[in-house]
Structure 1
Amino acid sequence: MADNDSVLSAAAAWKGAPMALATVVSTWGSAPRPRGSHMLVHADGRFEGSVSGGCVESDIMATAAEVIAGSPFQLKRYGVADAAAWEVGLPCGGEIEVLVQPVSAEGFDPELFDRIADARDAGQALTVTTDLATGQSNLRPAEGAVFANRYNPPRRLLIIGAVQIAQALAGLARELGIATVVIDPRARFLTEERFPGVTLDDRWPDEAVAAYAPGSSTAVVTLSHDTKIDDPALVAALAAPTGYVGALGSRRSHAARRERLALAGVSEANLDRIDAPVGLDIGAVGPSEIALSIAAAMVAAFHAKVP
């Protein structure tokens, strides 16, 4: 799944300016970026995003300048079998095909960015189809050589319990581009000094989690070690199609947790959705390493949820 959040933000900021959009439409072998990855190029030379991790960006920018100036869309292929690909620096062993189209009614209609933003704000996915024969993108099904790009809602993490592990996990999530909310009704734990730049919510966790309506792009992780706080949050998270649900604690404490949640009406199938002890088993020691293991498990779950 391609991460295009920064590109979509740039599209909103640059709205109305001449732009070109480059998109990875095919990959072979060890391609540096997945299909659907975007690079948005402004007429003044600014750009956001990446189609190759830096290997062919210079060539793409030159092509984008031509397209912005009025040249037709271009479909370019880079691979180690081509001398030109080596010249622009794609030595990773893979091949990519990149579509460069104008951001216009004849290419990627600017209104599509608004439609994508509206869908993401509503927690919904949206698929844009592109006719590779004409270089035009729209929301309608198409025939022939078509590339379909799915834009999923932005990833979000709801952390229950403003504890030390939560501080480290919130920082990692920020670096991963995951919007984070820390939920804790205990005012002395939930402070801006302890969680700078993070959304804080002091409601009781069941109310807060339900209000965020978690879907497949949302993770809920309980860390408070207080059953009065963690259990209601888990009940709310498991009542929704939450993409990842994790709970801190030992196997013994989780067995007791399962009994409590079962008595609260949570089904066996939903209990099995809880990742507990939370995180990948990397032998983590200390809050930072535990946070790293949780972040890795969360990202793995997000990828597994992609259709």
Structure 2
Amino acid sequence: MADLDRLLARAAEWRDQPLALATVIGTWGSAPRPRGSHMLVAADGRFEGSVSGGCVEGEVLAHAAEVIGGGGFRRLRYGVADAAAWEVGLPCGGEIELIVQPVSDQGFAPALFDRIAAARDAGASLEIATDLVTGNSGEAADAAEREAFVNSYRPPRRMLIVGAVQIAQSLAALARELDFAVTVIDPRARFLTADRFPGVVLDDRWPDEAVAAARPGPATALVTLSHDIKIDDPALIAALTAPTGYIAALGSRKSHAARRARLADLGFDEAALARIEGPAGIAIGAIGPAEIALSIAAGAVRAFSTKAG
């Protein structure tokens, strides 16, 4: 389960007690967590998420306790020039700015967690605006704050893994930790079992049908792993005829050249064929299924990060 999904689950679980929400609203230099990162704090001391990778969490927890106790909205900034930054452990050279809000109608309303979760389930984005004077949050479309922080909650990235082989087992588990919603596709029932692939969606249709039904878009990665052209090629064809964000195919350079030739014979031009990363993943000298899965996951993250940047 991804960081945001875990936080949303805790928000639902802890609703019977007062909560505070800390959010990174600005970063400079070598900041450990990006803008929009959250930490949810409960009155009983439990917390979920991170706003600094551990550097200032203790300080933020103290502010959150005061907010929960009725102390009101807080806006905080930490940097290496501040004595407090060294005291709480932020010597990394960066600066971060945070807000801490009560989870209430006079802050971050509990219903907003439900709206974020519903948007993610629907594959849609949602923007929440926070007035930096009052600390009140609401959907950005309804907000008219003069000074506001707008946090964009994007749907989870998806990964379609074609071929329920051993590498796919490692890749599916790793991709889930990287905030990908994972589907494993393979028409071979003996390979595609819940025991081998716990916690992911399984699709036993032929890959062309399964990929087309998934409607891959810019936030979707498709990876073929079966080494069977009857399974891999139809999936690649379906991915190339859609705006799929990342396409990768396992195999040697020789097998990838043969793959490109087959697809070219079907009418795909050079620009289309260049969309396929083959051999799949980043060259790290990977040996064994887990390391190969790591290189492929890294290739997908690099592709999406490059496009986002």
Give the TM-score normalised by the residue count of structure 1. 0.91
* Residue range with higher mean Cα deviation, 226-235 or 13-22: 13-22
Corresponding position of 2:147? 145
Deviations 1:31-68 (A, max 9, x none): 11111100011122211000011121111111112112
Corresponding position of 1:52? 52
Partner letter of residue 188 of structure 1?
R
Q: Distance in 2 between matches of 1:255 and 1:201?
A: 28
Aligned residue for 1:87, secondary structure, equals helix
Corresponding position of 1:242? 244
Corresponding position of 1:77? 77
How do 1:127-138 residues align onto structure 2 when only pairs under 5 Å count?
127-138=127-138
Aligned residue for 1:150, secondary structure, equals strand
Deviations 1:144-192 (A, max 9, x none): 3221111111122211001122122223223434332221111222233
The partner residue of 1:174 within 152, 173, 176 is 176
Give the Å deviation of 1:143: 4.6
Partner letter of residue 206 of structure 2?
W
Corresponding position of 2:215? 213
Give the Å deviation of 1:116: 1.3
Q: Distance in 2 between matches of 1:298 and 1:158?
A: 12
Moved segments of 4+, more than 6 Å: none
* Residue range with higher mean Cα deviation, 166-175 or 40-49: 166-175
Deviations 1:185-215 (A, max 9, x none): 1122223343344432211112222222223
1:161 correspondence with 2:166 = no
* Residue range with higher mean Cα deviation, 34-43 or 169-178: 169-178
Q: Distance in 2 between matches of 1:104 and 1:21?
A: 10
Give the Å deviation of 1:252: 3.0
How do 1:228-267 residues align onto structure 2 when only pairs under 5 Å count?
228-266=230-268
Partner letter of residue 107 of structure 2?
G
Corresponding position of 2:92? 92
RMSD over aligned Cα, in angstroms? 2.1
> Structure 1 residues 269 and 8, CA, compared in 2 at 3 Å: closer, same or farther?
farther
> Structure 1 residues 4 and 195, CA, compared in 2 at 3 Å: closer, same or farther?
closer
Partner letter of residue 51 of structure 1?
V
Aligned residue for 1:69, secondary structure, equals helix
Q: Distance in 1 between matches of 2:117 and 2:77?
A: 30
1:296 correspondence with 2:298 = yes
> Structure 1 residues 16 and 217, CA, compared in 2 at 3 Å: closer, same or farther?
farther
Aligned 8 A contact 1:3 1:37 in 2: no
Partner letter of residue 24 of structure 1?
V
Aligned residue for 1:105, secondary structure, equals coil
Q: Distance in 2 between matches of 1:306 and 1:3?
A: 19
> Structure 1 residues 110 and 268, CA, compared in 2 at 3 Å: closer, same or farther?
farther
> Structure 1 residues 262 and 57, CA, compared in 2 at 3 Å: closer, same or farther?
same
Give the Å deviation of 1:3: 5.0
Q: Distance in 1 between matches of 2:11 and 2:243?
A: 30
Aligned residue for 2:105, secondary structure, equals coil
Q: Distance in 1 between matches of 2:14 and 2:304?
A: 29
* Residue range with higher mean Cα deviation, 17-26 or 268-277: 268-277
> Structure 1 residues 51 and 240, CA, compared in 2 at 3 Å: closer, same or farther?
same
Identity of aligned residues (%): 70
Give the Å deviation of 1:245: 1.1
Aligned residue for 2:211, secondary structure, equals helix
Give the Å deviation of 1:223: 0.6
Give the TM-score normalised by the residue count of structure 2. 0.91
1:276 correspondence with 2:296 = no
- Tell me the number of residue pairs that the alignment of Structure 1 and Structure 2 aligns: 306
Corresponding position of 1:13? 13
Q: Which runs of 5+ in 1 are unaligned?
A: none
Partner letter of residue 44 of structure 1?
D
Q: Which runs of 5+ in 2 are unaligned?
A: none
